[in-house]
């Protein structure tokens, strides 16, 4: 019984910790991650699909929900105009199934 309870708690913890609820800041100094949006998915570190509900993001797979408040977000991001100023390069996709990491070395930025 204890093992089942611990397994459930651990799995819930990992689902919450991987969620990608983001808030778009107005200042790069307030942001956790500086993001550049590219026009080519082949140049991206992460292919992102915007979801309409925070409950649709449960794993670190590029499904982003944009929160209205920085207090509701797991990560605060700032969109930069140059990819050389960015920590993370993303591409917005129209398909949920295309979302995901292309450069897994940068996954730590969204934890």
Residue (of 63, 62, 29, 66) closest to 45 by Cα position: 62
At 25 the three-state DSSP class reads: coil
| Residue 99 main-chain phi, psi, to 5 deg | -65, 145
In this prediction, what percent of the chain has a pLDDT beyond 90? 74
- Interval 50-80: pLDDT, tens: 999 998 886 678 999 999 999 999 999 999 9
> Domain residues of the chain, as ranges?
2-110
Query: How much is the pLDDT for 15?
Result: 40
Question: How confident is residue 111, by pLDDT bands cut at 50, 70 and 90?
Answer: confident
Residue (of 56, 48, 27, 38) closest to 110 by Cα position: 48
- Is the confidence at residue 13, as pLDDT, over 90? no
- Interval 14-32: pLDDT, tens: 444 344 899 999 999 999 9
Lookup: tokens for 76: 């605060």
> pTM score, two decimals?
0.81
In angstroms, the CA 71 to CA 74 distance is 8
- Cβ contacts of residue 53 below 8 Å, gap of 6+? 65
């Amino acid at each position: 019984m204890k093992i089942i309870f611990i397994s459930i708690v651990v799995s819930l913890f990992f689902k919450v910790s991987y969620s990608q609820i983001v808030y778009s800041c107005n200042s790069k100094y307030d942001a956790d991650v500086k993001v550049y949006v590219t026009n080519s998915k082949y140049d991206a570190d992460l292919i992102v699909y915007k979801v309409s509900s925070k409950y649709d993001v449960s794993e670190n797979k590029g499904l982003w929900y944009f929160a209205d408040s920085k207090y509701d977000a797991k990560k605060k991001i700032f969109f930069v105009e140059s990819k050389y100023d960015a920590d993370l390069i993303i591409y917005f996709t129209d398909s949920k199934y295309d979302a995901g990491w292309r450069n897994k070395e940068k996954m730590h930025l969204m934890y």
